[in-house]
Amino acid sequence: MKILQVLPELNVGGVERGTVDLAVYLKNHGHDALVVSNGGAMVAQLEALGIRHYVLPVHRKNFVVAWHCMKALRRIIHDEKVDIVHARSRVPAWIAWWAARKTDAEFVTTCHGYYSQNMLSRIMGWGKRVIVISEVVGRHMIDHFGVHPDNIRLIPRSVDLEKFKFRERPAGRSAVVVSMIGRITPLKGHPWFLQGMARVIRLMPFVQVHVIGDAPPGKQDYKDSLMLLTRRLGIAGNVEFLGNRSDIPQLLNDTDILVLSTVTQEAFGRVLIEAQAVGVPVVATKVGGVVDIVAHERTGLLVLPKDAEGIAAAVMRLVNDRKFADGLAVAARQAVEEKYTLEQMAVKTIAVYEEARRSTNILVIKLGAVGDVILSSPAFRALRERFPQARITCLTGPSGAPLMHGCPYVDDVVVYDHKGKDRGVRGLGRALMQLRKYHFDKVIDLQNNARSHLLAALCLPRSSYGYRNGKLGLLLTDGIKDDQPGLAPVPHQFRILEKLGIAYDEGFRLEMWPRRDDQDFARELLHGQWIDEKDHTIVGINLAASQRWPSKNWPVASMAELCDRLAADGIRVIITGMEKDRPVARALMTKARSKPGMIVGKTNILQLAALIARCRVFVTPDSAPLHVASAMKVPAIALFGPTSPQRHVPPGKVCVMTREMDCRPCYLPQCRWGVQACLKDITAYEVYLEIRKILKQPVAARP
């Protein structure tokens, strides 16, 4: 692999040392390592080892500069054929993310800090994989930045044991050196460290204090205030400010105790494991990722933040109890060897790179009605067969969610209720925040309306597929023209999938996945109507289409006649429908002489599927139960009026009954002539004859 790491600068620091260590390891183990930064003292070390470094001002918080850096970085990624772009800081991460989008490189981040919650920091959660250096940082990224837990990988910082060799402190030393290593900023708690050391020095004047590190550019006043504090405390003669140093291993060799006095959430504390590797006992504040490293009384001592007295007591305990301090040092070194070696960090990081290259995140958008969602089941199956290792997520509405939760081809279901709780711009924003957690590579828009096209674009995938039908279709990166309007629904969807190398196969069928409790519920419903599937031939009749389409409904008188004809032959009839169909059901019961089993408004969609599966034939207008029957492999008689069978008939055993008329298909919810002849002319006797044919039963003479 070819890995490009991006960070602000390559001066002294934990992030910088980690970058160099990983680059060297990658090169030594057959990979190609590149680094982009604004330069610094460690560049020479990289180049001496034959690792290429590109100088770009990726540290600058300036839009114009960042734009030029992005274009330059994209050229580097393209020319070098980079596989992984690994960002280690926020501003470089924004540049790297935009640069990698139009290339084949995967984008990975490492969260080295406990970031404040703002837009600048959000980019650190946008990696295809997000490496965190401690559990507290991982929890922070999940809780406050919306990173999906499946994208988080915990890889603690490491120490090169070849550089940081264990040493036993020689006996007989007259002086004791207590060091603090880190950037001089208020977050590191230097005032409390110095106040604590003042207490120690008053009782142990032989103690020397080394403050290693420097203030950031423009913050020198803070360092000056600390130097003034040492004079006021009367310890200036025992305290030495050494500034930034590159010889940390040697400085730790000369150190007897290391103190970390951070007052806020410390992401990790690399200097702690470096000290422990050398055999230096540590005292640290109990914050953030420090508790992952230091086991109190076993591998170090923990104190509360801003507790100068606690720091002093811990340091004096280590000075006075040499045996205890040595025991801590040995146990800490063993812990470092078990969990924090460079080898372990590098192997885990390479595994993340390989995982990011292998994985594909796919979003399929299907927000339509229940029947439309059922029609998409062959597409989900085909996608799973084409991308067996991919993570496939379905974005659907509240009515489609119960169906997709049982789909074996889908890993996740996200519900977008754009007519309810997710209505309007705020609801759209909430949905996008949830979807952005997944960092989709591909979005497949099977809904193909303006809303779904907008969602597809705002998910920021590398590629999006659907029909460019004039409804914001230009937002799709790989859209196609909808120039075959008469195509059946499933082949119509597969025209989109052809862009992903998936061809339509006549063998694809609709599918549904009722659970065992749905099956039991359906059986109990039938028993409540004195119907047993083992003893009776069952024919189902669906009362009506959706409330929007009264023009699709077969006349009640025709349904009543059909019920009576079937009952006369000893066939048990069940009537299905929704709660809104109860008035129609009452009208049917009034007109029918027989007593069909009335199961209206008693099932959800999966229970209905289990119920229809017990029918030998199912009669329905053009509506979702037609698709349910097809999915459950039940022969169906579909009554088509204002709509076109060519566009809406699902695959399977479906007998279409319609009347060819000059005015159809009209796609009007109400008949313009007020007579609905296209459905009224389909007689009950014709449907009865078709049912007997499907059942392979002889037909009695027409009365």
Domain boundaries, the chain: 2-154, 176-338, 360-500, 516-695
What is the Cα–Cα distance from 433 to 451, expressed in whole angstroms? 16
Contacts 24+ apart (CB under 8 A), 149-155: 150/391, 151/127, 151/437, 151/438, 151/439, 153/129, 153/348, 153/352, 155/110, 155/131, 155/345, 155/348, 155/349, 155/352
What is the CA angle 333-336-337, rounded to 5?
90
Average pLDDT estimate for 510-535: 91
Type of residue numbered 332: A
pLDDT at 671: 79
Average pLDDT estimate for 45-53: 91
What is the Cα–Cα distance from 276 to 258, expressed in whole angstroms? 9
Decide whether 360-500 matches 516-695 in CATH topology. Answer: yes
pLDDT score of 491 more than 60:
yes
pLDDT at 675: 65
- With bands split at pLDDT 50, 70 and 90, how would you rate the model's confidence at 434? confident
pLDDT in tens, 549-602: 888 999 999 999 999 999 999 999 999 999 999 999 999 999 999 999 999 999
Domain 176-338 sits in CATH at 3.40.50.2000
Mean pLDDT score of the chain: 91
Beta partners for residue 467, in sequence order: 480
- With bands split at pLDDT 50, 70 and 90, how would you rate the model's confidence at 172? low
- Any alpha helices (H) in 37-146, and if so which ranges? 43-48, 63-80, 90-101, 119-122, 135-145
pLDDT at 170: 66
pLDDT at 543: 93
Question: Percentage of the chain surpassing pLDDT 90?
Answer: 68
- With bands split at pLDDT 50, 70 and 90, how would you rate the model's confidence at 173? low
pLDDT in tens, 125-151: 999 999 999 888 999 999 998 898 989
pLDDT score of 29 more than 60:
yes
pLDDT in tens, 537-562: 999 999 998 888 888 999 999 999 99
Indicate the CATH number of 2-154 among 3.40.50.2000, 3.90.25.10, 3.40.50.1100, 3.40.50.720.
Answer: 3.40.50.2000
Average pLDDT estimate for 671-695: 86
pLDDT score of 171 more than 70:
no
pLDDT at 203: 93
Average pLDDT estimate for 261-277: 88
The topology (CATH level 3) of 516-695 is Rossmann fold (3.40.50)
pLDDT score of 310 more than 80:
yes
Among the ranges given (339-343, 652-656, 699-703), the one the predictor scored with the smallest mean pLDDT: 699-703
Domain 360-500 sits in CATH at 3.40.50.2000
- With bands split at pLDDT 50, 70 and 90, how would you rate the model's confidence at 518? very high
